Amino acid sequence: MAHPGPQVGPITVPPSLDNVVVATTGLSEVDGARGRLSYRGRPILEVAEQFPTWTQLVPWLVTGRAVTHSSARAAAPELVWPTLSNPLAQLAVLILAMGDGVPLDTPEAAAAFVQATPVWYATLRSPGVTPTPHDAAACFLEALTGRRPDPGAVAALNAYWVLAAEHNLNASTFAVRVAASTGAQLPQALAAGVAALSGPLHGGAPTGVLAQLQALEAAPDLEVALGDLLERGERVMGFGHRVYRTEDPRAACLRGVLHTLTGDGEAKHAAAVESAALAVLARWKPDRPLAVNVEFYAALVLSALGISAEDCPAVFACARLAGWAAHYWEQRATGRLIRPLARYAPAKPQPS
């Protein structure tokens, strides 16, 4: 193994960096044992009450200071929409193009850039959309659904975006921090986050939840159907989390959002599936606590808003831009390049 410099303590090789602390952050805490999430030391429910829109949340999360108005810049009509079919790829190209040559050398400038990005995305995707920079969620929904959203729908997307804006050191946030540690500019680091989010194990979960829920709609017995699913070696989508050992606090919030948005119909089916899944998982995996996670209710809320499964990862990415930008500046402040080691395990020579 090559050693790039002096080592402090023994070298450990945990799989997937499990239980390895690679950064210090004051942005969010995920208490998996007690099912709690906080932003900048404040419980997520308190944050959601103070910042009813994502546009209002962004400056506080990125800079630590709240502002009374949006500083998002207007859309840029001169940019030609990239000819890409994947929404996440479109978002990454947009971020790189809009940030090219733009001075984003302060957290305040970064916050304004992040606020504006969903508005740019919406107006470039659907040129007929009227920009509403003071509430990016309204503009975004109009572009994705093709109709002017009602206040309840806008409030629901804002609630989801606030809840999804930051979540400690997940895979995409780590990618952003690695890029930031090299001295990369903000747009390039944000694009790295989008790239990491494109994998199905991180950003694609809502798509799987929706497909599974649709398949369960005709099941005469949900517990039997879910048991058959596990028997085939498949996962029950929307349950279990890498950190949480209790119910994901964001799921609890979105359960209420779904009920407000859809009434008893969709919420009743979701509650029935959740109850059946918890019962089946408790029997199949008694030693592993598997509670409902954010993706279960996020998928249902986004579907109720008329957002396609294909668009769900890009919707999530727009929310997480806020946390990524905050981590970018936190990492840049350390001035330290992230440079882990890899254990060298050469392949055995094959007989000739």
**Whole-Å CA distances, 173 to 70, 210, 212:** 24, 25, 28
- Two tokens, residue 18: 């499990």
Helix (H), strand (E) at residue 28: strand 28-31
User: What order do you get walking across the sheet with 42-43 strand by strand?
Assistant: 28-31, 36-39, 42-43
Q: Is 295 a catalytic residue?
A: yes
- Two tokens, residue 325: 């930008």
The answer to whether the Cα torsion of 300, 165, 92, 116 is positive or negative is positive
Single out the catalytic residue among 241, 274, 327, 330.
241
Contact in structure between 53 and 139 (CB atoms under 8 Å)? no
Give me Rg for the CA atoms of the chain.
Answer: 21
Q: Which residue has the tokens 């919707």?
A: 315
Single out the catalytic residue among 142, 247, 295, 330.
295
Q: Which of 107, 102, 132, 105 is nearest to 120 (CA)?
A: 132
Q: Is 327 a catalytic residue?
A: no
Catalytic residues: 241, 295
